[in-house]
A and B are shown apart, each in its own frame.
Chain A
Amino acid sequence: MIDMLTDPAALGELFATMLRLSVPLVFAALGGVFSERAGVVNISLEGSMILGAFGAAWGAIAGGSAGWGVVTGALAGGMLGAAFGIATIYAGANQIVAGIGANLAGLGLAAFLHRLTAAGRAAENRVPGFGDLTIPGLADIPVIGKALFSTDPMTWAAILAVPLAALVLARTGIGLRLKAVGENPRAADVAGLPVRLYRLCAVIACGMLAGLGGAVLVLSQVFLFTEGMTAGKGFIAVAAVILGRWSPVGAALACLLFGLSDAIQLRLQFANGDVPYQLFVVLPYLAAILTLVGLVGRSRPPQGSGSFYRRESR
């Protein structure tokens, strides 16, 4: 346990594992930030992630390259986002309830389509994913070198996506209008913004980002789709959104925290074969709950978040 923190090589390994485990969460959590800032509480990240994972596996095999996997994964996640968005934003379904329904539908659909399309043997279902790209020199930097400069493109995409999302929300017209729609839909409506359209676009973008998170699992990590492979990562991403106080950078930091606890958990599991693994597996979930308890108390979600907006109502 201690050498994990003192030995630079071990620390570098731990850092790399943390980053790798955080990347799927980061994509999904960024999506969650967009959706919630636009005023839609979205717990359907899990469903979008698993559909994205299936879509990525299918697309990468059918198209023959990981690039296709990224596209189809995002589209699959976005489709569930659209269904969830139509139910909540246009029909006015309760956002939590519809999120639960979308999760069930996504989970079922991914498993159903997988059984429909998967070939018999596991080897034939192997997904052409991303390999690690190493930048010579930089990759030799102690501790962080291996994690940052000998990794797959999706990790870089995630690292770039965080400041980009922050920039979009803080500095662009689209971002400002999105936040207006989430904070005070009536004022935004009076100002002439198409509230529902903005919300729908945010929710679809959220689904696509969560789909990318699922795609990372398949294209950069497991190279295979398995049912239930997201195992609650979407819900951890939801917790990261709250923990990060609805900001892209904050949410990404929360994801790193969960990634770190997951990485430590894996280390402990391997190092202590005699201790039941379940005690370590629960660490990230406990970390998520405990950080919520310790940190969140005073935070405030976007004002209009969770509410259905219709012009006729007051």
Chain B
Amino acid sequence: MMSARLLKGAAVPVGAVVLALAVGALLVAATGGDPVDLGTQIVDRVLLDYWGLSDLLSRMSPLLLAGIAVAIPLRAGLYNVGAEGQIYMGGLFATVVALNLPAGVPMPVALLAASLAGALGGALWAGIAGVLKARRGIDEVVTTLLMNYVALNLVSYAASGPLKAPGAPYPYSPEIPEASFLPLLMADTEAHLGVIVGLLVAVLARFALGRTAWGYGVEVAGKSPGAATYAGIAVGRTTVIAFALGGAAAGLAGAFEVIGLKHRLYANFAAGYGYDGLVVAFLAAGDPVWSVISAAFMALLRTAATTLKSAGLDATAVTIVQGLIVLFAASGLALQRYGAFDRLLARRRRAAIPTAGSGAVS
């Protein structure tokens, strides 16, 4: 029974992914590639390979956190299109703190300080959009989108100005001290502990949203603000908190990207993870734990883009596939909600009954 419900819930997203991948395969074929061969190559090089798997995990960490950054406000009926900017602010805050820690700070303290600074940066950046929405009713989609560009340029400025490493040939910050390096999950690779933290955050977010009074308030505020106000839920405060928590997750992603992987700050150091986070969250229908699976899948797509490139094929096909996944999944989920698939199935079942009957006779 449980598994049947689970299957039904996953049918639409999986269907959307399969359809979008089919289009991707067509695109690959159209540009002279062999989709089947490429698929086996991707499985071989990414899933069955130590290095490939570590690549996947290092990409999955920011995707998962960015997905949660979208999923939490989504529960309150809010669209956080600004995870991208929040990631950049998180990276900026984490870098500033990591670079200014006094020498000799023990590693756990350094790690914690940089991570929390990152979370704070993301939370503040997202909080602005939350406050504007709560206080002035300004559309959060537009503000978060526009703030992405501000954050991006801010980081670019910081890396070329105040944070620039002395004598550096390119605009990047000095390397952060080794005490604040995020430990690795797989030796000698780029896979850091961020995935584990992401998993913990996902479970925590699921619990907070699904099992606490606060989570219930968020859901009511999202589904019916009028009823929420009537029930004594402070909708404005819920909006700001949901946004800030989402931003904190995104900021953490940015911090990990710096302390776990790049070890310094530069312009575009985490390009696109925030927008991919939208895909992750919608594919998981806003559920933090399902986001783990969709983040893994999106990480696979990103890693596959590298394989595509090494096969001489165009990696932009991956972006098209991502867009189609969102379009297909959003359409499919809506059709399912309005019962279109049920009606289609019912019609087919009715048509199938006579044949089943005749089969039983013979």
Contacts and interface: CB of A to CB of B under 8 A. Distances in A.
Nearest to A103: B323
Interface in A259-314: 276, 278-279, 281-282, 285-286, 288-289, 292-293, 296-297, 308, 310, 313
Q: Place the interface of chain A in its size category.
A: 35 or more
A297 B136 contact: yes
Contacts of B142: 235, 238-239, 242, 288, 292
Given A43-B141, A278-B160, A293-B132, A108 B323 contact: yes
B316 A278 contact: no
B317 A108 contact: yes
Residue from the set B154, B333, B334, B338 with the largest chain A CB neighbour count within 10 Å: B334
A116 B150 CA distance: 32
A175 interface: no
Interface string B138-159: 1101110111111001101100
Contacts of B323: 47, 101-109
Contact of B282 (A97, A279, A296): A97
A93 B136 contact: no
Contacts of A112: 27, 314, 316-317, 319-320
Contact of A98 (B136, B157, B331): B331
A98 B327 contact: yes
Interface string B168-181: 00000000000000
Interface residues of B, number: 49
A288 B27 CA distance: 38
A282 B150 CA distance: 5
Contact of B326 (A104, A239, A242, A293): A104
A98 B326 contact: yes
A194 interface: no
B314 A97 contact: no
B330 A115 contact: no
Nearest to A235: B145
A67 interface: no
Nearest to A114: B316
Contacts of A288: 142, 146
Given A282-B149, A297-B136, A108 B318 contact: yes
A116 B326 contact: no
B81 interface: yes
Contacts of A153: none
Contacts of B86: none
Given A104-B319, A108-B319, A94 B327 contact: no
Contact of B150 (A93, A104, A286, A308): A286
B224 interface: no
B330 A98 contact: yes
Nearest to A308: B334
Contacts of A104: 275, 279, 319-320, 322-323, 326
Given A103-B323, A105-B319, A310-B338, 18 more contacts: A47-B323, A92-B338, A97-B326, A98-B331, A101-B330, A102-B327, A104-B320, A104-B322, A105-B326, A108-B323, A111-B319, A112-B27, A239-B146, A278-B153, A278-B157, A296-B136, A296-B137, A308-B334
Shortest 4 CB-CB contacts between residues of A and residues of B: A105-B323, A101-B326, A108-B319, A104-B323
24 contacts: A91-B330, A91-B332, A92-B337, A94-B330, A97-B278, A98-B330, A102-B323, A102-B327, A104-B319, A105-B324, A105-B327, A108-B320, A108-B321, A109-B320, A112-B314, A112-B316, A115-B314, A115-B316, A238-B141, A276-B160, A278-B153, A289-B143, A289-B146, A292-B139
